[in-house]
A and B are shown apart, each in its own frame.
Chain A
Amino acid sequence: MGGSLRELRPTLVWALIGVIFTLFAPSVLQLFTIINLTTAIALAVLALSLALVWGYGGILCFGQVAFFGLGAYAYTIGAINFGGSTWAILVAVMVASAFAAALGYFIFYGRVSDVYLGVITLTVTLILYSLIRRTSGPEYKIGNALLGGFNGVSSPPLNAPWDARAILFPEQVFYVAMAALIILYVFVGWLVTTHFGRVCVAIRENETRAELLGYDTRLYKLGIFTIGAGVAAIGGVLFCNGVGRVTPDVFSLYNAALTIIWVIVGGRGTLIGPIGATFGLFYLTASLGGQSVFNNNLVLGIILILFVLLVPKGVAPTLIDWTRRRSRPAGRERRRRRARPEGGA
């Protein structure tokens, strides 16, 4: 097995930085900022999931946001019906993963190619969007939860495990969100160093060769796709807690594009890159805010085009290349021994 501590070191360093930030942020930042940050953290979990599925698994999923949105909806509906959040979280992960597994079966066992895969996953997302927008009547009801059409549903807040009366305060939700992000980050970071993860990377590099070695590539792709959907669903749970409600807009074309942009900007083949890009772009778009000349679509469109044309690898891999090249003359041998290219942070 992979997963040795040495390989995980960069991941653990970033995780430690995250822990320190979590401990000090609430005493430094205002409550409003903390609540806002919770939303950004939820989005970072979504970015992490696509960084896994696309960056490591090579699966061009344009609809990762579908699993995020399904997670948010499943959590909300579950929490309303169960009167507590504990089982609802589980339901959210299960629903999104099961949906991904079913969709993935058709995609991977049909051997649908890259470009088709992107377009199909995007189409699924858009159809979920228009489907849920139409559920405004009183007849669209799951248990006690009205789906509410384009107005969405307000999400019950998280509570302490198995104690529905102990509702968490916004600060506590922030701690939970950060903990989830850090744990998932370390989990995904570990996953890509296991045999399973390394095979997924191999499939990304050359699917034919992986098959000729005897790996059933369809199964591995289905596996990583399903795990990615589960991670995205947790992001969705955190998101509807940060915002307080879930609307069909989670499935919008804009959000689907945003997810792709985080991973492109941050860089495929790293995990910390897309997470960093999510926070960066979250604050960039927030600061553009209300004014209408440089609206978000315009700015994100330009960013996406410029990155595809000029920095196709993304920020983090480009930085890694650059620092390697600079430090090569002195520390060449040592560095070589340590670097496993797919084991970036």
Chain B
Amino acid sequence: MSAKARRGEAVVETRGLSMHFGGVRAVDQVDFTLYDKELRCLIGPNGAGKSTFFKCLTGQLRPTHGEVTIRGRETTGAEPHEIAGLGVGIKTQVPNVFDGVTVEENLWLAARRWHGAARARSLTAEVLERLRLGDIRRSLVGRLAHGQRQWVELGMVVAMEPWLVLLDEPAAGMTHEETARTAEIILEINEMAALIVVEHDMQFIRMISRTVTLFHEGRILMEDTMDAISADARAREIYLGRSA
């Protein structure tokens, strides 16, 4: 735990968080803390429970045991829109976007939830620019390539102006260039918000990483810098040895 930069209050805390599906313990007794303005990467092999952990944080799943506290407020079992209302934005692993409407409309819907009409319009324009979506703003999201859909979703998260951002595999299916740009955006977001980023792409993690948490079979195996984790024999065995 050496590299943990304590830059303020704890914004996310879970105590004994567990999510069981029948016999499968997707998340098992997880104690996790994230501090204000922190950028945390979450890694772990397929099926380690990372996405399930996110779903418990955002209220998409009601945990079997344990509790979640966000900015001092207990949110276990709260509705997703209530948690979003606290200022939590998430990009899900399978892109959740509004396929039948335009890119611009997607962003506007995110901005308008939290801002008045005028600010929502200017915020939409800002995000279009920032994520370089201007050229395709009138296109239907359903017709876009996977990478672009990822950005539309990222754009929606940005347009919410959240102070806590959860990103589940934001660079999946992107070109090298797009991945680099995504890393830049993430660092930009981090100036205003705390982040948890799930990724499999080690190079990408090295671009953005501070502290890395390693998930395995629903539990936190270790929490350290990327270099320390790469050096750890156990971690190499369960994860790095296989996919990196």
Contact = CB atoms under 8 A, between A and B. Distances in A.
Interface of A: 1, 195, 198-199, 201-202, 204-206, 208-217, 269, 336-337, 339-342
A213 B79 contact: no
Interface stretch (B10-18, B111-119, B201-209): B111-119
Nearest to B95: A209
Contact of B100 (A210, A212, A214, A342): A342
- What is the predominant secondary structure among interface residues of chain A facing chain B? helix
24 contacts: A195-B112, A201-B101, A202-B98, A202-B101, A202-B109, A204-B100, A205-B99, A206-B99, A212-B60, A212-B81, A213-B113, A213-B156, A213-B160, A214-B85, A214-B114, A216-B81, A269-B100, A336-B138, A337-B138, A339-B138, A341-B100, A341-B102, A341-B140, A342-B101
Given A195-B112, A213-B113, A339-B138, A205 B100 contact: yes
Contacts, number: 79
B124 interface: no
A175 to B, nearest CB: 37
Contacts of B84: 211-214
B51 interface: no
A229 B79 CA distance: 27
Contacts of A336: 138
B92 A212 contact: yes
Contact of B81 (A202, A214, A340): A214
A122 to B, nearest CB: 26
Interface in B90-134: 90, 92, 96-102, 105, 108-110, 112-114, 117
A1 B96 contact: no
A211 B109 contact: no
A34 to B, nearest CB: 40
B80 A212 contact: yes
A112 B62 CA distance: 17
A64 B163 CA distance: 43
A184 B111 CA distance: 30
A198 B111 CA distance: 13
Nearest to B160: A213
B58 interface: yes
Max chain A CB contacts within 10 Å: which of B84, B85, B101, B108?
Answer: B101
Contacts of B58: 212
B96 A212 contact: yes
- Shortest Cβ-Cβ A-B pairs, 4 listed: A214-B84, A205-B98, A209-B96, A211-B80
Nearest to B116: A1
Nearest to B84: A214
A210 B60 CA distance: 12
Max chain B CB contacts within 10 Å: which of A199, A201, A213, A339?
Answer: A213
Contact of B102 (A214, A215, A269, A340): A340
B105 A340 contact: yes
Max chain B CB contacts within 10 Å: which of A199, A206, A217?
Answer: A206
Given A212-B89, A341-B140, 10 more contacts: A1-B117, A198-B108, A198-B109, A201-B101, A205-B98, A206-B99, A211-B79, A214-B81, A214-B84, A337-B138
Contacts of A198: 105, 108-109
A336 B102 CA distance: 11
Contact of A213 (B101, B102, B110, B117): B110
A1 B100 CA distance: 20
Contacts of B85: 214
A209 B117 contact: no
Nearest to A203: B98
B160 A206 contact: no
Nearest to B139: A336
Nearest to B109: A202
A63 to B, nearest CB: 25
Contacts of A337: 138
Contacts of B98: 201-202, 205-206, 209-210
A216 B153 CA distance: 19
A209 B97 contact: yes
Nearest to B141: A205
Contacts of B96: 206, 208-209, 212
